[in-house]
Structure 1
Amino acid sequence: MVSESKPTSGVTGAFIIVTCLFFAWGFITALNDPLVAAVKGIFTLTRFEAQFVAFAFFIAYGLISFPAAALLSRVRAMPSIIAALIAMIVGCLIILLAANAAVFTLVLVGLFVLASGITILQVAANPLVAALGDPSKSHFRLTLSQTFNSLATFIAPILGSHLFLKGLEVKEGVVVTEEVRQRALGGIDTAYVWLCGMIAALALFMWIYRRTVTAALPAPAADSGQGVGALISDALSSKWALFGGAAIFLYVGAEVAIGTQMTAFLNDNAIWGLSDAPFAVPLLGATMGSDGIAGVSVEEAGKAVGFYWGGAMVGRAIGSVLLARFSAPKLLAVFTAIAAAMCLYVVMVGGVSAGFVALGIGLFNSIMFPVIFTITLERSTASTEATSGLLCTAIVGGALLPLLVGKVSEITSYHAALIVPAACYALLCVFAIASHKAKVTLRDEPTAATVH
């Protein structure tokens, strides 16, 4: 057996690298927000068509989550993580090819491959973080890793907007010049070249630390591996696994639909497109960086989206304190009710104030994913692996609901389309109230959920 003095520094190093994985997938996921606006302008897409960026990315969760869970139940975490990182590199390379060839369909293929790798990575990362160190501090390590994930989701829209959206227009009827189009494609190329290099470096470091990581993980139970069919059957046998899956579907769908349309929403003349009010807000205005032209351009709007995700980062810190004092179902009911009310305000009032309210929804999204995840694990009669697999599959809501919101916004307006997320949050409030009254299944403590 390895002596205790040897793994201490090695395990710390491995934990740092794994935390970098959390940062990487958070950054890549949030980069979709400015990418939706960019491809809309570059390829002259409708609002509905632009949302296929979210569809191509999040459909991977629906198709890959159960196979990833089955893979992880049969092999150790390290082979799964290395395979995931290789898939992510391939996805980045396909997007690079798509940017150089200016083919939208190829962009979607690259996003699907990239997201498939991220899906496998997320399934493997939770138990890995829990195992790398003192078991009594596993929740602290997971929270720390999630903080870096949240930090990445704040940075990505700001950097992505700078690279993708400079001089670009997404409003219907505006012609994008070839020069602006090529600059936007070049920005996409630059972003994914750097991502490809970062992921390759992470893969190398994970390979270097593979023995340390493998030694830190608990030995798998004999004959513990379950096939995809058995996992699905087990998950479908539990009423609460199904309820939780529906809740995750609604939550992720609402959050992603708001985020991917936020850039165009803020740039719309009915919100901030003709206003300079956001530049008067100190931190927000400085981040957006006024170009001196009246109104909020699409690039400036894209940078503001970072505050939607930044609100979620702040909300997780506040939520952690509140969860120590209030039950998870009660807090979830309050947060979902407030989010629904904020969406309704945007729908019914609109105008400049609606832009600030929409950005604030991220603050109340903050605790929803981990709380829904753990509430479901506590009440599900299916195995943890099967329940987790179903919940990760349900992230496919991020593929389907943005398409619906995109179509509704075409028929009505960007702000009126938030009626769909409002309905999702209202249903989540019902889920929270029902879970408060439901029986908790006593078994091993549920694994804390990573943010998607």
Structure 2
Amino acid sequence: MAPPVSTAQVQADPSHGPSRYGPALSLLATLFFMWGFITVINNTLLPHLRSVFELNYTQTTLIESVWFIAYFVASIPAAKVIEKVGYKLAIVVGLLIMAGGAGGMMLAASIPSYGVTLAMLFVIACGITQLQVAANPYVAVVGKPETASSRLNLVQALNSAGTMLAPMFGAYLILGRSKGGTAATGTVLTQAERMADAHSVILPYALVAGVLVVLALVFIRFPLPAMSSANNRLAAEERKSHSLWKHRNLVFGVPAIFIYLIAEIGVANLFVNFVTQPNIAPELTPEEAGRYLSFLWGGMMVGRFAGSAIMQKVDAGKVLAAFSAGAFVVMLITTFTSGPLAMWSLISVGLFHSIMFPTIFTLGIKGLGPLTEEGSGLLIMAIAGGALVVVQGWLADHYGLQNSFLLTAACELYVLFYALWGSRPTDVLPDPTIDG
């Protein structure tokens, strides 16, 4: 199984000096912003679809499961696209796939159809996967190798800026323009009202599709620095003497990313439904609760900027341990308290989740040397763990929404275990050299 292209496979073309990379990185940052923005629109879209189609929690979280299954399905084809057409055109392909999916969401809203909605969200997620596979290694290798982690954390922070603004966009243009989004919790909608609510999705996705097409045109015309294949991989016969499974930090890192995604996506997807419960903040409509979701993603953005600075002086494993312990504590508070305390503790988990993905990823490939390619591919595919958010939906249906966050708390404990022990490298190999 060929993994996605990773940082061990590509290097900057030496003909381009570092001064040429600034504009390219600025443009690439828009990709991180856009896929964060579009991903988090789902958090306001899900309670909207729950109302329109009268879904239970299992059916609601299945929507997000379909989204993350795309990471597993599309990552290998995305790498093949890069091999055939290069990074620049692969990015354009990803943007156009996303635009096509956004257009399909307009069709799904017009019918309206739960099945077509699932299919179109899957298409959008495939486009985002294409961007992830292309943009992450590009950002990592454009510039000095020793600052690669800093660059990746910086653009991830801009990704969080997109996730912070998306709930306000969704709350205003989706929930704010629908009967289900502005009515009191528990209001029963008529068939005509549900049909009108479904149509409220058309405008926001038309805007999204238009922006994506414009961005694709910009990338087509932009002189993105060329990337070339690296020649530092081991020969096939020599590689047989090395095994990824001898690297403890990778073996435990893959499930760490998988499990972390269950926690992050579960919190975000069920946030609006949780906050509007009678024992939390019954005075809030779904539209108003959607605005509070911006604080959760804002905390993630702040945490990434702060975490990047802290990790320049403090070991990344120790920082990850502190953040995961904090996340575990606030999830227990969320589960066993009520009112504003429970709401704000759930919001605060965004701050503690902030550094988890980039830090686990970095620790997971540490010491893999020429095996970094395969290790990176496994870690990228582990993003599919977000698909198992449906498990939390099932728990919410059978044991209560608030109790379902005990699953999130358990996920934080695994990340803590990884930070304290699982992330320690074994069988360390020399790092591959990357020219910049």
Mark yes or no: TM-score above 0.5.
yes
CA–CA distance in structure 2, aligned partners of residues 266 and 71 of structure 1 = 42
Matched, 1:213 2:200: no
User: How big is the shift at 1:44?
Assistant: 0.5
The one-letter amino acid paired with 1:348 is F
Q: Deviations over 1:351-392 (max 9, x none)?
A: 331011010010000110011000110044772221111111
Which one scores higher on RCO, CA 8 angstroms, separation ≥ 6?
2
CA–CA distance in structure 1, aligned partners of residues 92 and 232 of structure 2 = 23
- Give the gaps of 5 or more residues in structure 1: 274-294, 448-452
Farther-moved stretch of structure 1 (68-77 vs 340-349): 68-77
**Which of 235, 241, 256 in structure 2 is aligned with 1:247?**
256
CA–CA distance in structure 1, aligned partners of residues 187 and 243 of structure 2 = 52
Question: 2:79 — aligned with what?
Answer: 69
**Which of 330, 353, 356 in structure 2 is aligned with 1:365?**
353
Question: 1:194 — aligned with what?
Answer: 207
User: How big is the shift at 1:444?
Assistant: 2.6
Alpha-carbon spacing, 1:200–1:337, altered in 2? closer, same or farther (3 Å): same
Farther-moved stretch of structure 1 (152-161 vs 140-149): 140-149
CA–CA distance in structure 2, aligned partners of residues 161 and 180 of structure 1 = 18
Question: 1:280 — aligned with what?
Answer: none
Question: 1:309 — aligned with what?
Answer: 297
Question: 1:268 — aligned with what?
Answer: 277
Question: 1:150 — aligned with what?
Answer: 160
CA–CA distance in structure 2, aligned partners of residues 128 and 46 of structure 1 = 41
CA–CA distance in structure 2, aligned partners of residues 345 and 112 of structure 1 = 34
CA–CA distance in structure 1, aligned partners of residues 41 and 256 of structure 2 = 24
CA–CA distance in structure 2, aligned partners of residues 369 and 143 of structure 1 = 10
The one-letter amino acid paired with 2:255 is A
How large is the RMSD of aligned CA atoms in angstroms?
A: 3.1
Farther-moved stretch of structure 1 (263-272 vs 126-135): 126-135
Q: Deviations over 1:311-331 (max 9, x none)?
A: 111111221222123211111
Q: Is the 8 A contact 2:335 2:403 kept in 1?
A: yes
**Which of 28, 44, 48 in structure 1 is aligned with 2:38?**
28
**Which of 198, 211, 216 in structure 2 is aligned with 1:185?**
198
Question: 2:394 — aligned with what?
Answer: 407
Question: 2:105 — aligned with what?
Answer: 95
Alpha-carbon spacing, 1:254–1:98, altered in 2? closer, same or farther (3 Å): same
SS at match of 1:443: coil
Question: 1:426 — aligned with what?
Answer: 413
Q: Give the alignment's TM-score, normalised by structure 1.
A: 0.84
The one-letter amino acid paired with 2:399 is T
Alpha-carbon spacing, 1:419–1:12, altered in 2? closer, same or farther (3 Å): same
Question: 2:10 — aligned with what?
Answer: none
SS at match of 2:428: coil
Question: 1:56 — aligned with what?
Answer: 66
**Which of 159, 162, 168 in structure 1 is aligned with 2:180?**
168
Farther-moved stretch of structure 1 (307-316 vs 68-77): 68-77
Q: Is the 8 A contact 1:239 1:380 kept in 2?
A: no
User: How big is the shift at 1:8?
Assistant: 5.5
Counting only pairs closer than 5 Å after superposition, residues 286-325 of structure 1 correspond to structure 2 as 295-325=283-313
Farther-moved stretch of structure 1 (420-429 vs 129-138): 129-138
Q: Is the 8 A contact 1:73 1:226 kept in 2?
A: no
Q: Give the alignment's TM-score, normalised by structure 2.
A: 0.87
Q: Is the 8 A contact 1:374 1:446 kept in 2?
A: no
User: How big is the shift at 1:40?
Assistant: 0.2
User: How big is the shift at 1:101?
Assistant: 0.9
CA–CA distance in structure 1, aligned partners of residues 115 and 195 of structure 2 = 17
Alpha-carbon spacing, 1:384–1:440, altered in 2? closer, same or farther (3 Å): same
Farther-moved stretch of structure 1 (141-150 vs 403-412): 141-150
Alpha-carbon spacing, 1:307–1:172, altered in 2? closer, same or farther (3 Å): closer
Alpha-carbon spacing, 1:200–1:390, altered in 2? closer, same or farther (3 Å): same
CA–CA distance in structure 2, aligned partners of residues 349 and 141 of structure 1 = 39
Question: 2:430 — aligned with what?
Answer: 443
Q: Is the 8 A contact 1:244 1:391 kept in 2?
A: yes
